Amino acid sequence: MFKIFLIFFPAVMFVSACTTGAAPALDTPEPEQFAAANTQVPVPTKTLVPTQPPPTPTPDPSPSFTPKPTIDLALVLTPETTMAYEVDYIGLKTSDDVQIMAKQFGEGEPVVILAHQGTTGANQRDWEAFARLLAERGCSAATLDFRGRGQSKGDMTSTNLLIRDMRALIDRLQEDGYQRFVCMGASMGGSTCLRAAVEYDLEGLVVIGSLMSNGDPTTTSPEELAALAMPKLFITTENDRYEPIPAAVKDMYEIAQDPKQFRVFPGEAHGTEMFDQPYGEEFTAELVAFVEMLR
């Protein structure tokens, strides 16, 4: 494991969100190419990076898409202090001997696992800004490149094996002493988080623009979903460009037992593309508030 130490300076006042301690089948992934001989992860150099304050939030005036009244955007998006945190580069081996690369931001709990979608070019970098926000607030966040993406080896001719990549990451984090996990995933990452929630005792689950299954063994039955007792958040856009997604996410919400939440944002964005929409800060605040609820 290699580490980067990131030091940040105070921003506005806020109480830390976490304790310190311790694609869907519709996505058509196109695996990135890697040099077969380059199997070593480069050693990152230590860098001091000053924090950049988030932009001033501009709440959406539409009552259909604004966060719950308990969410104060300015406080949710700007922690009291921008805490110093480490970035660990983690090399993993899956049960079928595929080399997977992951990163962990911070050391607090719960560990929020962030799983990327399968659209062309998507990888763990899509979650990095959000992972850093959580780390600044005293949580830890873990991202991974699914097989065939980013720095991971193998290929993704099918998304049905992604649970093997997720198991490798959660098992490693458990070996490192972490006990509390939240899984957030977009599209195929959401389906993979859903399967992980069946197999592991997660504290929270967030499914964003996903179908229920990527195919066996990354598949979850309605009965398995209905049995999940942890808090759950299901998010979609009104007209996700993958047509079955909005109805599929609503169906999952209706199958799930309480506690659960269902949020619909406007437009056609898919998965983590919602970060870049006009309501991106509200979307971000919704995710932060869910983690805050579990601290």
CATH of the domain at 169: 3.40.50.1820
- Rg value, the chain, Cα: 18
- Identify whether 153 is part of a domain: no
Domain membership of residue 44 (yes or no) is no
What gap in Å lies between CA 201 and CA 94, rounded to an integer? 20
Give the pTM: 0.77
Q: Is position 49 within any domain?
A: no
Q: How many domains does the chain have?
A: 1
Amino acid identity for residue 106 in this structure = G
Distances from the Cα of 243 to the Cαs of 35, 100, 207, 248, 283, in angstroms?
36, 31, 17, 9, 21
Does residue 110 belong to any structural domain of this protein? yes
Report the distance separating Cα 165 and Cα 152, nearest Å: 10
Do the domain assignments include residue 193? yes
| Domain presence at residue 282 | yes
Structural domain includes residue 147? no
pLDDT tens column, 107-140: 989 999 999 999 999 999 999 999 999 999 888 9
Residue 72 lies in a domain: no
pLDDT, tens digit, for every residue of 182-234? 999 999 999 999 999 999 999 999 999 999 999 999 999 999 999 999 999 99
Residue of 148, 106, 151, 91 lying closest to 125 (CA atoms): 151
- Range(s) of the domain holding residue 268: 1-6+83-116+161-295
